[in-house]
Structure 1
Amino acid sequence: MAFDKLNPNQRSRFHAMFERWLCNATDQEYQEFANLRELIAPGQVCSVVRIALTCVSDPVMINRLPASLREALLAENWPVGYAAA
């Protein structure tokens, strides 16, 4: 499932999970995520949904997500794509 195919309920669930993660993220974890944003969409505004789901659909990029965010995604039955296999 692509990030642009999420229904409103899925997007809402994702954003709630991401907000919980963000409230507990360390400065280092936040910086890791910011670095990914710049790698995926350099100099652009980019949805956190797009960043996370781009990463979980790629066997290399998934390991670039902060470990605590990967754990939060797995706990919420995200990710889809590569990490779900």
Structure 2
Amino acid sequence: MGVGAFNFLENTMQMQPWNEEQRKLFHVEFNDWINTAEEADFDRLETLRAEVAPGEVCSMVRLVRSCFARPDLLAGLPTALVQRLREQSLLQLCAVSPSHAGAQ
């Protein structure tokens, strides 16, 4: 899953900032997910972060939101995390990747 010349900062600057309540809810859901995630899912997320923002500091909020904004990157997110965030209506998909289409 190559991202080529994907400019992480440019992509995240186009997103509307979340309010405090949205950020808190994201972190609650993310922390719940990470407490039950398998090591392979965590490794997958870390690999994606390294591809999306190599050598940059990047928050999980920005990483996940960037992946939802880019359908080609969405497939890299662990399915269980995508499902949790969709259930809370935190992230609206601009397109659903085939690997996550059934994760309702």
Task: Using structure 2 for the length normalisation, give the TM-score.
Answer: 0.73
The question of whether the paired residues in 2 share the 8 Å contact of 1:37 and 1:51 is answered with yes
Q: Give the C-alpha shift of residue 64 in structure 1.
A: 1.1
Change (3 A) 1:83 1:10: farther
Give 1:42's aligned residue: 54
Per-residue displacement from partner, 1:26-56 (whole Å, max 9, x unpaired)? 0000000001111111122210000100001
1:62 and 1:78 map into 2 onto residues whose CA distance is 15
The change in CA–CA distance for 1:75 and 1:83 in structure 2 (over 3 A counts) is farther
RMSD (CA atoms):
1.7
Judge conservation of contact 1:55–1:65 (CA < 8 Å) in 2.
Answer: yes
Report matched runs for 1:1-80 at 5 Å. Answer: 2=15, 5-80=17-92
Stretches of structure 2 that go unaligned for 5 or more consecutive residues are 1-13, 97-104
Contact 1:22 1:30 (C-alpha < 8 Å) held by counterparts: yes
Check the 8 A contact 2:49/2:63 in 1, yes or no. Answer: yes
Structure 1: segments with no counterpart, 5+ residues: none
Which aligned runs of 4 or more in structure 1 are off by greater than 3 angstroms?
none
CA radius of gyration, larger in = 2
Q: How many residues align?
A: 83
TM-score (norm 1): 0.87
Q: Give 1 or 2: higher helix fraction.
A: 1
Residue 81 of structure 1 and its aligned partner are, at CA, apart by 4.6
What SS does structure 2 have at the residue aligned with 1:82? Answer: coil
